[in-house]
Structure 1
Amino acid sequence: MNVVADHFGEILTGFGRTVLLTLVSFAAALVLGGLLGLCRVAPLGVLRSLAACYVHTVRNLPLLLVVVVTVFVLPQLGLTLSLNTSVTVGLAAYIASYVCEILRSGMETVPAGQVEAARAVGLTTFQCLRLVVLPQALRSMVQPLGNMFIATALGTAVGSVAGVNELSGVIRQLNVQYVEPLALFASATVLYVALTLAGGLITGRLERRLRIHR
């Protein structure tokens, strides 16, 4: 355990990068996934087809491949981003495909009769979504979105393959230097569990607050 104590600051710095990468990637995934979800239920068939094509393509790719494309392929196409930004974009693009389906499934839980009633009283499509559909759909989406937050946190480990010094990258470098896998990976396990448990607790609390008591 001496290697953990001697390099605890370095490990915490890597953990901080993991937390930041998780938060930024998940926020971006919520925005992109939300737009894709709206396209999935849009009245225009072209938007529905484009969103469905994106979702079905990305969801059937490994996360590692998506990140490799954003880190190594995009610069060859003329889009040069920093390493951290490239990993964030790849992770967000991947998680957004799942967020899209969560949003679409949540909106489908709202009875069609309520939508028809809202349109009958003169609400536009946007007003119907904002005032009737989304407030109810969000209640059923909290737990699935919490699961995607956890998936995002664990997916940040892919960044170490691209050279990002997040928690997994720091642990891997220290293990190469000191060959103390038990102590190092045990410390990483504790930190990952702490992050995911925090996300689960926040999600559970939010779900209880939004629950409709009958």
Structure 2
Amino acid sequence: MDFVGAYTGAHVKFLLEGFLVTLQVAFISIICSFLIGSIIGILRYAKIPVLSQVLMLLVETIRNLPLLLIIFFTYFALPEMGMKLEIKTAAIVALTIFEAAMLSEIVRSGLLSIEKGQIEAARSSGLTYLQTLQYVILPQALRRMVPPIVSQFISLLKDTSLAVIIALPELTHNAQIINGQSVNYTIPTYLLVAVMFFVVNFSLSLVARRLETRQKAGKHKTEIQKLKTQNLQA
């Protein structure tokens, strides 16, 4: 092991450049997949005839395919259909497609978790279906969805390393190049790569845990208030 040779200024800079690409691809994919996944999840929750069935088929198909295959298809197959994409764009598209399918299920499950009694109460008070969805269902569901969504974002960040198969100059790709210079660089290089991923992912996991704890505390507080109300009425 040669930590001194592996951690030269040029090597560390090269790894940081790759990590910046990783973060850029992950960030853009997170935004796009969240928007698309939310729309799909809401449309499936609405149970629109035909459209819901078509979306369900697409989501289930994508969720049961390896992400590696989707990356291969986006970069190698789409050009055969007249849609040639740059490496970074292909990686973003593949990650967005895969993660949007995953997030759509989280969104749909979050919407379904809202008690029917609240929905019926909102409708009986004169709110339309869209108003009920906007003002009653979505605000509550979003709070419940935050922890699993953050966890999914962590998975997305780690999944960016799969784009190494199409030579995306991200962190693991650059680590391979450095490792190719000497076998003595293997452990030091990948140790630094692991630390970089760990710092970001662990920070996100702490955020997810804190949000989940707050959510449970809020739910517990609500249940106590309900019990107090019932006791007063009794």
Q: For this structure pair, what is the TM-score category when the shorter chain's length is used for normalisation?
A: over 0.9
Q: Whole-Å Cα distance in 2 between the matches of residues 97 and 182 of structure 1? A: 36
Contact 1:150 1:196 (C-alpha < 8 Å) held by counterparts: yes
Q: Is 1:26 matched with 2:30?
A: yes
From 77, 87, 92, the equivalent of 2:91 is: 87
Q: How far does residue 201 in structure 1 lie from its aligned partner after superposition?
A: 2.4
Q: How far does residue 67 in structure 1 lie from its aligned partner after superposition?
A: 0.9
**What amino acid is the match of 1:169?**
H
Q: Whole-Å Cα distance in 2 between the matches of residues 18 and 130 of structure 1? A: 34
Map 1:1-80 → 2, pairs under 5 A? 1-6=3-8, 7-80=11-84
Contact 1:139 1:207 (C-alpha < 8 Å) held by counterparts: no
Q: How far does residue 136 in structure 1 lie from its aligned partner after superposition?
A: 0.9
Runs (5+) with no aligned partner, structure 2: 222-234
Identity among equivalent positions (%) equals 34
2:123 alignment counterpart: 119
2:195 alignment counterpart: 190
Q: Whole-Å Cα distance in 2 between the matches of residues 68 and 203 of structure 1? A: 31
**What amino acid is the match of 2:127?**
L
1:199 alignment counterpart: 204
**What amino acid is the match of 1:190?**
V
Contact 2:45 2:112 (C-alpha < 8 Å) held by counterparts: no
2:231 alignment counterpart: none
Q: Whole-Å Cα distance in 2 between the matches of residues 77 and 123 of structure 1? A: 47
Matched pairs, number: 214
Secondary structure of 2:181's match?
helix
Contact 2:44 2:56 (C-alpha < 8 Å) held by counterparts: yes
Q: How far does residue 55 in structure 1 lie from its aligned partner after superposition?
A: 1.2
**What amino acid is the match of 1:143?**
P
Q: Whole-Å Cα distance in 1 between the matches of residues 78 and 5 of structure 2? A: 38
Q: Whole-Å Cα distance in 2 between the matches of residues 89 and 3 of structure 1? A: 37
Q: Is 1:168 matched with 2:172?
A: yes
Structure 1, residues 136-171: CA drift from partner, whole Å, max 9, x if none?
111221111111011001100011111101001001
Q: Whole-Å Cα distance in 2 between the matches of residues 203 and 26 of structure 1? A: 15
TM-score by length of structure 2 reads 0.86
Q: How far does residue 126 in structure 1 lie from its aligned partner after superposition?
A: 2.0
Contact 2:67 2:98 (C-alpha < 8 Å) held by counterparts: yes
Runs (5+) with no aligned partner, structure 1: none
Q: Whole-Å Cα distance in 2 between the matches of residues 103 and 63 of structure 1? A: 20
From 165, 175, 182, the equivalent of 1:178 is: 182
**What amino acid is the match of 2:188?**
A
